[in-house]
Structure 1
């Protein structure tokens, strides 16, 4: 930011301008490489941690003994299904954003000279876009549970998740909003007390607030991951799908090589009528 500030106030064609420009280019390159590495690391770690928490909650549900060593040994076993499911979700999100962008551009061209209609279109577009984005995100969150507890993965896990979410959209949206508000609040707290805090507050206080934000963020993340698994069981119950704990326990044991994994039709979960 300092170099950009200096570059704007340096005459073009001078040696100082060229030097600052070269330094700025190197800094932007380093910044984008760091962001790419950070995003890759964050995605891998978040997906693996999601699988670990889902497996742990399922073991608790089936009264199966769970240890850190077992959980860590299970995570690599779901790597293939995890990545396939994530790639399909990424493709869907990417296609959704591209389509939304085309609709936005088309609307901007059509209503460019009609301010009132253009404003109304923009408001409706934002509302519809957010609803669609939330819907895809909720399906993805439940799909991360499906590929661990069932044999389905990829598009099949997304389709299974979409079917399970029907009739329970209200509670799913409510949980999503609550968790999202928690993240947003913690982010604001971190930026206000740590990032943009004045130096008069002291480095010790800023470190203290940073630790508090880290603890709150960890609790919120764990809460969100646990609720995803609980919503899965609630959706199963809502659709009258009985979860046989013994079969589910055997399915979980298959990750540890305790037996030959059963097929999905054997593992899960037969339907029954009340």
Structure 2
């Protein structure tokens, strides 16, 4: 195993944060360009949506109150129209959020991987790779969504059966608390698996979709405590930013005060999104090193470079790498093979 792999193998909670900060500071220009193109719009859309949703919900309540008080027969038509607009805005928001999130993930993961190969990289080169990587990450997201959906339906079924069987007695409330804790733990674990699977989808040729989810589960073993603490800490930071934003930006404040509060929230949220993507990529390399999987710079560089090749050449490159893997298994140590 190379020195980078040995170093990553032994770093813990604080080491992962330190490594992530070091990568961002080393590639300031490229990460700034990625942030301005993908992550900043993502943060703006996220914060604007909060304000728009609050205002539309208030408007629906006001119109229900005003027209209801006057006995106006147009109330149902007006409320139907308002709800339609509300849901269309939410659908458009979710689509934009998903697209920008997947593009950001693809660009940041690829950039961090290039950091470990030591190869020069430009923003133009990253942008030419992102569309190809994005397809793999999208497929992994679809599988993750289906797994989250199945998990949510199972929990709803469990809660429904609990209502029928145990009700809300003191004993039943204790059972509800236990079920809620189990649900939250499972939800956190699924999100960690999905985030790591997104990295796997970019960096491993054969692993995307459900295969990336399975590989992610295997990688997390032995590092679940560290990854869980990091995930929860990032969620707490996110929650703190959103609480400040929603408390101090009501409609009653003037524009100057809203800017004083809103701009710092936007900057912090943007950096948090960037840092979260970098840190989940670092966790991938830490987990690989922990399991004794060497970070072979040459093989990783060849894999990343293959994204620039036409599909027939990529297939040929993959065959060569697989052949090298079989030779290494027979004649050399297995842990020097990346793919």
Shared fold (TM-score greater than 0.5)?
Answer: yes
Does structure 1 residue 147 correspond to structure 2 residue 147? no
Of 160, 163, 166, 2:218 maps to 163
1:120-269 alignment, distance < 5 Å: 120-151=174-205, 152-194=207-249, 196=250, 198-199=252-253, 202-257=254-309, 260=314, 261-262=317-318
> How many angstroms apart in 2 are the aligned matches of 1:138 and 1:50?
14
Shift of residue 132, structure 1, vs aligned partner: 0.6
Shift of residue 207, structure 1, vs aligned partner: 1.4
Q: Residue in 1 aligned with 2:40?
A: none
After superposition, what is the alpha-carbon deviation per residue over 1:207-265, rounded to whole angstroms, capped at 9, x for unaligned?
12111111000111111001100000100110000010011011111112286343675
Where in structure 1 do 4 or more consecutive aligned residues deviate above 6 Å? none
Where does structure 1 lack aligned partners over 5 or more consecutive residues? none
Does structure 1 residue 6 correspond to structure 2 residue 6? no
> How many angstroms apart in 1 are the aligned matches of 2:309 and 2:198?
22
> How many angstroms apart in 2 are the aligned matches of 1:110 and 1:144?
40
8 A Cα contact 1:55 1:148, kept in partner = yes
Where does structure 2 lack aligned partners over 5 or more consecutive residues? 1-60, 326-332
| RMSD over aligned Cα atoms | 1.9
Does structure 1 residue 59 correspond to structure 2 residue 119? no
After superposition, what is the alpha-carbon deviation per residue over 1:77-101, rounded to whole angstroms, capped at 9, x for unaligned?
1233122111111110000000100
Q: Residue in 1 aligned with 2:6?
A: none
> How many angstroms apart in 1 are the aligned matches of 2:297 and 2:215?
20
8 A Cα contact 1:140 1:158, kept in partner = yes
Shift of residue 8, structure 1, vs aligned partner: 4.1
Shift of residue 7, structure 1, vs aligned partner: 4.0
Alignment length (residue pairs) = 262
Query: Which protein, 1 or 2, shows the higher relative CO under an 8 Å CA cutoff with sep ≥ 6?
Result: 2
3-state DSSP of counterpart to 1:123: helix
> How many angstroms apart in 2 are the aligned matches of 1:141 and 1:115?
39
Q: Residue in 2 aligned with 1:44?
A: 99
Shift of residue 111, structure 1, vs aligned partner: 1.0
8 A Cα contact 2:106 2:134, kept in partner = no
8 A Cα contact 2:68 2:75, kept in partner = no
